[in-house]
Structure 1
Amino acid sequence: MGRDLLLPLRDIAFARAPRPEDPRLALGFGLSGACCLVVPLLVGLLTGHPAGGATVGLGAWLVAARAIVNPAGVRTPYLFGVVVSVGVGTSLGVLVSGSSWMMIGAASALAGLGGLVRPIGVTPALTLLLTAANPLPLDPLPHTGLQLLGGLLPAVLLTLPWPWRRTRPAITTLNEVAAALAALAEAVPGADKGSMPGPTAGAAGRDAGTDGRQDAHPAASPAAERNESRNEGRSEGRDEWDARRRAAADALAAVGTARARRLRGERSRAADDVALALRRVFHEIVALRGLCDTLRRRAPRAVEEAGIGDLTASLADALRAYLADCPPLREPVVDFGARVDRLRERTTGGEREKVVLVLLRQVAHSVGRIQAALDGSAAQARRLCAPRLDIGGLDAAALGFGGLAAPPPLAFDDPRVRHALRVVLGTAFASVVIVLFKPAFPHWLVIAVLVTIQPTYGETRARVWARVGGSTVGGLVSAAVLNLTPGHWALVALIGVSAALAFGLAPTHQAYWATFMTMCVLLLLDFQVPQTARIAESRVVLTLAGGAIAIACTRLLWPRGETRRLADRVGRMLGSHAAAARALAQLARGRMAAERAEDRIRRAGVDAEMVTGALGYIAREPGGTAPEAVGGALDAAQRVRDDLLTMVSLLRDEPIGAGPVADVLDAVAGQLQAASQAVQAGEPYEPGEGVSRGLADDAMWVGAQAERRLAELESAPEAAGSRRALLRTAAADQALRSLDADAVRLCAAAGGAFAAVR
């Protein structure tokens, strides 16, 4: 029985253990990073200069450690800049090695500069401390030269076009996107798809009444019970839809990440075109979901009569066949436009039936755009199946550095300046402590502060636990190894293994890096100058003290933690959603391309992800409990973005032009912007009436279009006339009403969360 109780705990432990997202990348980067250290050590041993080999290896480690953030995307010029930082730190370390107070000033200044200018980082200060606090194994000039030589090794070796830097083939990642979109298309009808037997769209319209209201006598009837069952099914369907939409969005994001990791000359123009087509398909499927939701609410029998389930199944089959085989197969999609035409012929001409047909016609238009996107990129998909030289990236490379913007002016309230000051003061305090109390191997205290302190308290605390735990485990293992006094050849093997594990697992979790990096550095220093187990013990103790100093700095010195910044982040999220709504207003007026409007919506999604990340950090803030309404605001923001994507689908082919659509979108943007200002100012949010007035005007506009169309039918039944304008205007009215409802929920949740918090 005891064993049975332990098995679930074991499964939970292994399930939660961080694992490499890309095993090939972890293996390749780990072995390459280990080679940067092991090769100099072997050369030093074989030539009879082990100290020189260790000096080269230390320089290699200092540079290679800066590549762990993005090992597949790091570039040679960036690492050359790190080599220069190593040279500066080594030279200053040699100059100040005889004066403790000069070391304090130099280390603090370099640490502050690294906190202010991100590309500089901690490398110069870290190199200065390692140089000034440890006895040099060589004369200063040879030591500096060999350390620079060691830095050049990873700058070249890690940036070569290794297979592990190319990530997975583009055809594989794009095929996964197509599969995720196929699953998303299957979820469009919802949990109650196909469950609604009934007559035609006209019957559905008659059941609902000509004024658009549902039957007023549902109580105590079997239909009411079925409605309750459908409501439960719709809730389950919404959860399934959200999960599949996130999976499709993640797959599209993975394609973008893989593209960014490739060298500019290796980027495939065909892959970019296919990815763009699949992104458009994603937006159209989101729009389809919104239209089908409206049909299920207002005319559920029309969903069954029109065969929405068959339509989405054919869409899923077309997407699965898009990149499944080479050459790609063209799986035809159901001709939904013909179905709508047949339904139109069977209707009796009531106003409600026309509204239902308007929605069904918009579904047909969206399906047509999906088919056009797949057909339009089929040639590029075939090129991916038969790859050849693609030099499209050279045009972008010719642009050079044009468009680089000047950085904004610095001010004391700038988070970068505050973070830099915290780093300076934390480093100076740690340096004063080691000068006054003179602990053994004192530089580890300052190094612990440097590598642990982060811009916010939540981030620093998360880094501290990984750093302290990893350093403790790595220090204890290193102490055991040093007690055995291994020879140089054994040290080379141990350094190689620990370096491979450190570099390979570093992108997975900070604790892995702290553990194996501690072992690697301690053994590397022992290779330079023989050490005892005391260095490992000091490393553990001083890392604990350095972590405490880092936490104190971020907690006490101008604390701008995630709890205080959450309102600013939510306000920024509201502002970006307002900008997206304004972009759609410009699209409705014909003054902006659909691609730019979609880009604004994607930016709004990024700001929402920043709020989600902040909620995770707040859990580690002291007393940092986020308002519960923020979660509701995030859900409402997602709905707003879905509504905006639906509007893009409506406006993509041609702007609506006349009518109040653009004015309603501007009013929604103003409402979101007002909520953003209220949240950032900590004031109560007061909703305006601009959107309601605009929606009323839009309803009258739809009525006017319908009256115009009816007049045309009386005079010339066969003429197209204003039919298309009626269809698009009525569909836009439904989408705008959904957008307004979700925007109201977003503003209310965000405004209520922060009205009394600040």
Structure 2
Amino acid sequence: MTPARFRASDLIGWSAAPPDYEAGLRAATATIVPLLLGELTGRPQLIWVALGGWLATFADPGGPYPLRASALLGFALAGGASALAGGLWGAHPWLSIAALFLWAAGCALLRVYGDAAGSIGSLALIAFAISLGSPAPLEICALRGLFFGAGTLWAAAMALALWPLHPYRPVRAAVSACHLAVAAHMRELAASPPSWAQSEKAMRNRSAIRRSLETARGILASVRSARRGETRRGELLVALYEAAELAMGDMAALSEALQWREQMPPWLSRALREATEAFEWSARVVAEEQSAPLAPPDPPSEDGELGALAQRLVSHARLAVEAAAALQGGSPGPQGAFALDTRAARRSLRDALSFRSLELQHALRVATTCAAAALVGMLSHRPRWYWIVVTAVIVLQPHSGATLRRAMQRTFGTVAGAMLGALLAPVTHTPGRAALVLFALAIVAVALRKQSHAIYAALVTPLFVLMAESTSGDWHLTWTRVSSTLLGGGLALVGAYAFWPARERELLPGQIAALLRKVRAYLSSALAGAPSEQARREAGLLLANADAAFERFLDEPHRDDEVEALMGLKAAARRLIGAIASLSAAPGELHHAGEQLSDALESLAAASEARQAPPPLPPLPRTPQTERLVRPVEVIHSALSRFLQ
């Protein structure tokens, strides 16, 4: 990835994700319908309903319905309160800058409670800034807050009841195809003589598996990049992908070991058939086909090289069954690398208020930049000065490189949008025509938002100029919006490079090494019979910072395989911390295995620090007691190898 490619591609920032026209149609309905009703009934205050519906489209984190419902309800309350408070503070121009600083810091700190909460905070801050630029008496501000909340609830009703979407369906299909390809190869391997493992047909099979894995990796990374509130379902799909990825490596190792054998051992054929059934069953479940529950296969008891390899393969088949059963809703989830117990990595406000915390650094960055943007707008007596603040909020990212890219895209898109607005002005002289044009713009803007922020900005520029004016065909504010974008983007760049600037690609290997060493220290204390609460808390803080670092990395130029590898590494590290927390009951019997795992973690940390692919793992003991520790370490090794390759 060269610097020239970075600059050229970032101007548009096109992604390979497919357009989501259903989401665009839903967003347009949530926004333009109340806007049109306001025009037809002479109630301009309904523009706040439209604004609430529009912003609620981006507050929806996706994923399970309880998560989406709680997020949208939380945004209705936060956004309504922001619209109310902003209008009241706007009556006091200089005090309003201090209020904006505090409100911005509080909204930005919501990131400590997760990415969905962070998005809600950013959108609520936008609502506060817009209302701050339109001061009004208490009764009008209260009505404004109610209208904004009503618009959010209107969008939530469509998202959850009237018009639900299923963004993970392509991921399910791709992961299911991986499992079917793995199962087909294992079935042939079980029914063939050992020499078949090195045949041309076997190699074609492995090539097909690799292609299906690459396809699934790209789709999973693309969907994950766009939906940052996902927890359970996203991690289970990562677990299912990793199960196929690890099984691919197991079969390659088995093929090497079998080439010196004259006959396939009967016990190995049986183990391969059981693993095949497991992957076929998980493929059906992931594809949402009805399937009776399946018990995970038992690992073979044979010793030797083949025995160890077969145990690994069956272990990963068990992971596939456990993850698929949890996805189906019939079990609590995998009990190893992807067990869904996040107690050891829970974020806390106390950790976020530490100056080592990336959340606090970003909160101060956002608050200072927003206050500066408001001050510039007020001193220059600009109309719609809050557009400067809104631009700064949208452009300013937790990482300086991402902010530069977003500023370029926003500026390019807004200038292009101004030209588009000039072309559309002659056909928007009536409310009906304006509504049709804006409805189409909203559909395409949201549908292409994942592909390119620049194109999205080009389409929403004429949309919001008309929404701001609430009149048709009046485009005199278009150039005000362009200049406001330039000012807001410039201030965001100043804020990004003045406060803790860094490129995440350069920092991630060191952060991964620090995380692994802290997990190693926690493991050592647990094996000594006295698990350190301080080590656990520090490991949790480093993991929380790694989550934030991953989000910043998504906004830099990256490959899809890097995204998937980091997703797997983070999930496995989280599971490992949870597994260590359960060792305090009987650590003595795990002492020898724990020493080997501790050495493996140090080796992985050293490789990450040196930015080199880690050496192969030594044979690790696999017993029911060690399985919860061995699985995550294997996944970390596999993911780190792919990330650093």
**Normalised TM-score (structure 1):** 0.57
Counterpart for residue 444 of structure 1: 387
- Aligned residue number for residue 146 of structure 1: 147
Q: Match of 1:29?
A: 23
Give yes or no for the alignment of 1:289 onto 2:232. Answer: no
**Cα deviation 1:535-568 (Å, max 9, x = unaligned):** 1112122212211211121112232442663354
Which position in structure 2 is the counterpart of 1:668?
600
CA contact (8 A) 2:271 2:300 kept: no
The alpha-carbon distance between structure 1 residues 290 and 41, as it changes in their structure 2 partners (threshold 3 A), is: same
Report 1:151-550 matches (<5 A). Answer: 151-160=152-161, 162-165=163-166, 167-168=168-169, 175-182=176-183, 185=186, 194=196, 283=246, 286-293=249-256, 295=257, 300-302=259-261, 322=281, 358-363=304-309, 406-409=348-351, 410-482=353-425, 486-527=429-470, 532-550=474-492
2-structure distance, mates of 1:169, 1:564: 32
**More moved, 494-503 vs 278-287:** 278-287
- Counterpart of 2:15 in structure 1 is 18
Separation of aligned partners in 2, 1:480 and 1:438: 29
**Cα displacement (A) at 1:453:** 0.6
Q: Which runs of 5+ in 1 are unaligned?
A: 1-11, 198-229, 331-335, 341-356, 385-389, 394-398, 590-599, 621-630, 649-654, 700-724, 754-758
SS in 2 for 1:559: coil
Partner of 2:531: none
* Structure with more relative contact order (C-alpha pairs < 8 Å, separation 6 or more): 2
Q: Distance in 2 between matches of 1:27 and 1:121?
A: 26
Closer/same/farther in 2, CA of residues 77 and 30 from structure 1, 3 Å limit: same
> What amino acid maps onto 1:182 in structure 2?
A
Greater shift, 662-671 or 444-453, is seen at: 662-671
Task: Give the Cα–Cα distance (whole angstroms) in 1 for the partners of residues 146 and 197 of structure 2.
Answer: 77
Question: Is the contact made by 2:448 and 2:456 (CA closer than 8 Å) also made in structure 1?
Answer: yes
Q: Which residue of structure 1 aligns with residue 5 of structure 2?
A: none
Contact 1:116 1:416 (C-alpha < 8 Å) held by counterparts: yes
- What is the aligned length? 563
Q: Distance in 1 between matches of 2:95 and 2:248?
A: 64
C-alpha contact (below 8 Å) 1:181/1:319 kept by paired residues: no
Q: Which letter does structure 2 place at the counterpart of 1:458? A: G
Taking the aligned partners of 2:465 and 2:247, their CA distance within structure 1 comes to 56
Change (3 A) 1:40 1:512: same
CA distance in 1: counterparts of 2:429 and 2:74, whole angstroms: 36
1:103 aligns with 2:96: yes
Q: State the SS of the aligned residue for 2:501.
A: coil
Letter of the 1:617 partner, please give it: E
Structure 2: how far apart are the matches of 1:41 and 1:259? 27
Please say if residues 495 and 524 of structure 1, whose CA atoms lie closer than 8 Å, have aligned partners that are also in contact: no
8 Å Cα contact 1:62/1:86 also seen in 2 = no
> How far, CA to CA, are the matches of 2:550 and 2:212 in structure 1?
21
In 1, Cα distance between equivalents of 2:69 and 2:140:
29
Equivalent positions of 1:604-683 (< 5 A) are 614=553, 617=556, 663-672=595-604
Cα 1:565–1:255 shift into 2, 3 Å? closer
**Higher radius of gyration, 1 or 2:** 1
Greater shift after overlay, 157-166 or 180-189? 180-189
- Distance (Å, rounded) in 2 between the aligned partners of 1:547 and 1:370: 48
Aligned residue in 2 for 1:130: 130
> What is the alpha-carbon distance in structure 2 between the residues aligned to residue 665 and residue 455 of structure 1?
34
Equivalent pair of 1:581/1:668 in contact (CA under 8 Å): no
Q: Is the 8 A contact 1:194 1:309 kept in 2?
A: no
Amino acid at match of 1:70: G
Say whether the 8 Å CA contact 2:49–2:147 is kept in structure 1: yes
Q: Distance in 2 between matches of 1:619 and 1:262?
A: 21
Contact 1:478 1:523 in 2 (8 A): no
How far did 1:423 drift? Answer: 1.3
Alpha-carbon distance between aligned partners in 1 of 2:130 and 2:601, rounded to the nearest angstrom: 55
Query: Residue 23 of structure 2 contacts residue 446 of structure 2 at CA under 8 Å; is this kept in 1?
Result: yes
Aligned mates of 1:337, 1:423 — CA distance in 2 = 56
Residues 44 and 669 of structure 1, relative CA distance in 2, 3 Å threshold:
closer
Matched residues in 2 for 1:419 and 1:252: separation? 28
Distance 1:37 1:313, change over 3 A: same
1:413 and 1:275 map into 2 onto residues whose CA distance is 30
Q: Deviations over 1:124-179 (max 9, x none)?
A: 43223323435879955544443343333223332326442485399856643422
SS of residue matched to 1:158 = helix
| Residues 410 and 457, structure 2, Cα contact 8 Å, conserved in 1 | yes
Give CA deviations for 1:581-638 in whole Å, capped at 9, x if unaligned. Answer: 979x97xx9xxxxxxxxxx9xx99x979967974983889xxxxxxxxxx9xx99x99
Give the one of 77, 87, 90 matched to 2:80: 87
Show CA shifts across 1:437-471 (max 9, x none).
Answer: 22343222121111111111122122222322222
Letter matched to residue 157 of structure 1: M
| Partner-residue secondary structure (3-state), 2:182 | helix
